[in-house]
C-alpha cells in the first residue's frame, strides 16, 4: 500500500527528468557563495548589512520560469530558507524574512505563482541547518559559523524550540502556497539527523497537509534499506556527482534519484566564478542521468538584484535548443534494457530505444542484440530515416545491427540521437 502510494506520487518525477534548482538569498549580496557566513566566520551582526541592503529590484520570477521552460525543464526547486536562516517567504515565526527587507514582499509566493503559471511543477528547498536561530546549537556544532565562540558557549540553546520553529515553518510552506510538488530538506550530519529533527512527526504532518509532495532523502533516514524509515524520503539526492551505476537499494531494486549539479562552481551567486559547464556537458550529463534512471536538477544562482546571470541563461538556452528537438529521448524515458554501448548511451521509453551517439568511429555504428528487432530508425533531430542493415559479414557479427551514415563523419558533436 505504502509502496504503491510512493510509486504513484513519483510518477511525474520519473517522467519529467529535468528541473531547475534555484539558490537565492542574502548571500547573493556578498556574492561569494551561500556558505560565505560560515566560511568567513561572520557573526550575525557582520552579516546584517546584507539584510539591510537586499533589494532585488529586477526580481521577476516569470522570466525565470520562462527560462526554465525554454531550457526544457519541467520543475523547479527554490531555497525558501538556506543555512543562513533568512526566509524568502512571509513566515509568521520570524522577522528575518524578505517582507522586512527592501523587497517588502513574499518572494516565495511570487515564485510559486510564476512557475505554476508556466505549467512547471514547484518545489521548495528548506534548510534544516539554521545559523541565525538562537536555539540552533552553535558551540559544539562543526557546521555553525560561531562554533567555539565564548558568546555561544554561554548561551542556553533549547534545541526543542528550534525543532518547533522548523516544523512550524514547514507547516506554513505547505499551507500557504497551494500544492507543493517537492520538499527538499538540507541536510543531516553527525547526530543532527532523523529523530533529532523529530522526523517521523514532521513527515506525518507533511503527508497530512500534502499527501503527494515528494521529499528528498536528507532528513537522515536510509532510503536504501529494505524497509526505509517513514522519513527516509522519496528519492536520493547525489550532489555534484552522477552515480556510476544508478542507485539500487539493499534488495537490488532501483531507487529514484536526482543529481543536483551547479552550472559553475557555486550554488549561490558568485560574482567572479566564470567556470561554467558548457551546454554540451550539461546535455550529456542529463542523458547520462536518464540512462541510469535518474533526474538532473541543474542550479542557477540569481544575483542580488534578482537576475539569473547572463552566462547561465546562455547555457540554458543552448540546452533548450537541443531539448526542443531531442526531448522525447529524455521525457518519459528511463534506463534501457541493453548495456551501455561503446559509442554512447541508451535511453528507452516503452518499445522505443534511443541511441545517443556521442562518439563516432570508423564505419557503421554497431547495435548489439538488435538484429531483427528494429522496425525503423530515425534521426530524432530531423526525423530523417537512418539506414540500418543486418550484418554483411555473417557469423562474425551475429546479433548485430548496423546504422550506416553517408557522411564520413557524423555530426554528433553534442549528441546525435537515433530513435
Ligand atoms: C548542501 C548545502 O550545504 C549547499 O549549500 C547546497 O545547498 C547543496 C545543494 O546542499 O551541500 C552539502 C550537503 C552535504 C554535504 C556537502 C554539501 N556533506 O554532507 O558533505
pLDDT computed for residue 149 by the predictor: 78
All 3 cell numbers of residue 406? 553517408
Ligand 1 atom showing the smallest separation from residue 34 Cα: 5
CA of 37 to the centre of ligand 1 (A): 14
| Pocket (CB within 6 angstroms of ligand 1) | 34-35, 186-187, 189, 239, 260, 267
What is the CA 230 to chain-centroid distance, rounded?
22
Bridge partners (DSSP) of residue 32 are 270
All 3 cell numbers of residue 340? 551501455
pLDDT computed for residue 410 by the predictor: 64
Per-residue pLDDT of the chain (419 residues; tens, 9 = 90+): 578 888 899 999 999 999 999 999 999 999 999 999 999 999 999 999 999 999 999 999 999 999 999 999 999 999 999 999 999 999 999 999 999 999 999 999 999 999 999 999 999 999 999 999 999 988 778 999 988 877 666 666 799 999 999 999 999 999 999 999 999 999 999 999 999 999 999 999 999 999 999 999 999 999 999 999 999 999 999 999 999 999 999 999 999 999 999 999 999 999 999 999 999 999 999 999 999 999 999 999 999 999 999 999 999 999 999 999 999 999 999 999 999 999 999 999 999 999 999 998 888 899 999 999 999 999 999 999 999 988 777 678 889 999 988 776 666 689 999 99
Q: Whose CA is nearest to atom 2 of ligand 1?
A: 186
Q: Whose CA is nearest to atom 13 of ligand 1?
A: 187
Q: Whose CA is nearest to atom 4 of ligand 1?
A: 267
Q: Which pTM value belongs to this model?
A: 0.97
| E strand or H helix at 69 | helix 61-70
pLDDT computed for residue 153 by the predictor: 66
pLDDT computed for residue 394 by the predictor: 66
* Number of helical (H) and strand (E) elements in the chain, helices listed first: 11, 13
Measured distance CA(379)–CA(387) in Å, rounded: 10
Measured distance CA(314)–CA(320) in Å, rounded: 10
Residue 255 CA: distances (Å) to CA of 118, 237, 405: 29, 11, 38
CA of 187 to the centre of ligand 1 (A): 7
The most distant pair of C-alpha atoms in the chain lies apart, rounded to whole Å, by 82
pLDDT computed for residue 376 by the predictor: 95
Bridge partners (DSSP) of residue 113 are none
- Ligand 1 pocket test: which of 32, 77, 187, 217 has the largest number of ligand atoms within 8 Å of its C-beta? 187
CA of 328 to the centre of ligand 1 (A): 32
Measured distance CA(120)–CA(325) in Å, rounded: 19
pLDDT computed for residue 196 by the predictor: 95
Q: Are 256 and 234 in contact (CB under 8 A)?
A: yes
Q: How far apart are the first and last CA of the chain?
A: 36
Amino acid at each position: 500500500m505504502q509502496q504503491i502510494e510512493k510509486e504513484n506520487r513519483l510518477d511525474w518525477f520519473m517522467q519529467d527528468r529535468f528541473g531547475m534548482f534555484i539558490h537565492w538569498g542574502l548571500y547573493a549580496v556578498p556574492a561569494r557563495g551561500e556558505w560565505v557566513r560560515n566560511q568567513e566566520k561572520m557573526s550575525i551582526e557582520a552579516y546584517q548589512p546584507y539584510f539591510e541592503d537586499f533589494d532585488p529590484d529586477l526580481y521577476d520570477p516569470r522570466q525565470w520560469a520562462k527560462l526554465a521552460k525554454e531550457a526544457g525543464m519541467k520543475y523547479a526547486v527554490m531555497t525558501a530558507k538556506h543555512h543562513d536562516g533568512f526566509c524568502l517567504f512571509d513566515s509568521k515565526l520570524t522577522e528575518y524574512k524578505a517582507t522586512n527587507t527592501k523587497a517588502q514582499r513574499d518572494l516565495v509566493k511570487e515564485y510559486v505563482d510564476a512557475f505554476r503559471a508556466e505549467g512547471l511543477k514547484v518545489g521548495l528547498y528548506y534548510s534544516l541547518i539554521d545559523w541565525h536561530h538562537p536555539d540552533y546549537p552553535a558551540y559544539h556544532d562543526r557546521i555553525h559559523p560561531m562554533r567555539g565562540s565564548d558568546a555561544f558557549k554561554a548561551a542556553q540553546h533549547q534545541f526543542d524550540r528550534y525543532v518547533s520553529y522548523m516544523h512550524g515553518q514547514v507547516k506554513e510552506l505547505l499551507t500557504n502556497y497551494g500544492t507543493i510538488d517537492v520538499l527538499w530538506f538540507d541536510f543531516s550530519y553527525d547526530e543532527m539527523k532523523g529523530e533529532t529533527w523529530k522526523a517521523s512527526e514532521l513527515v506525518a504532518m507533511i503527508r497530512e497537509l500534502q499527501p503527494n509532495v515528494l521529499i528528498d532523502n536528507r532528513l537522515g533516514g536510509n532510503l536504501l534499506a529494505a524497509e526505509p524509515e517513514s522519513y527516509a524520503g522519496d528519492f536520493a539526492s547525489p550532489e555534484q556527482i552522477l552515480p556510476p551505476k544508478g542507485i539500487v537499494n539493499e534488495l537490488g531494486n532501483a531507487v529514484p534519484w536526482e543529481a543536483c549539479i551547479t552550472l559553475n562552481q557555486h550554488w549561490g551567486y558568485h560574482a567572479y566564478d566564470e567556470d561554467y559547464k558548457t551546454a554540451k556537458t550539461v546535455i550529456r550529463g542529463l542523458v547520462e542521468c536518464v540512462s541510469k534512471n535518474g533526474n538532473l536538477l541543474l542550479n542557477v544562482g540569481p544575483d542580488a538584484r534578482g537576475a539569473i546571470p547572463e552566462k547561465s541563461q546562455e547555457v540554458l538556452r543552448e540546452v533548450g535548443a537541443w531539448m526542443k528537438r531531442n526531448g522525447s529521448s529524455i521525457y518519459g524515458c528511463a534506463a534501457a534494457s541493453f548495456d551501455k554501448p561503446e559509442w554512447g548511451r541508451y535511453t528507452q521509453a516503452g518499445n522505443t530505444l534511443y541511441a545517443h551517439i556521442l562518439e563516432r568511429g570508423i564505419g557503421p555504428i554497431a547495435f548489439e542484440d538488435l538484429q531483427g528487432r528494429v522496425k525503423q530508425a530515425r534521426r530524432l533531430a530531423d526525423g530523417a530515416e537512418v539506414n540500418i542493415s543486418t550484418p554483411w559479414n555473417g557469423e562474425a557479427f551475429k546479433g548485430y545491427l548496423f546504422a550506416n551514415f553517408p557522411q564520413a563523419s557524423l555530426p554528433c558533436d553534442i549528441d546525435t540521437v537515433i530513435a
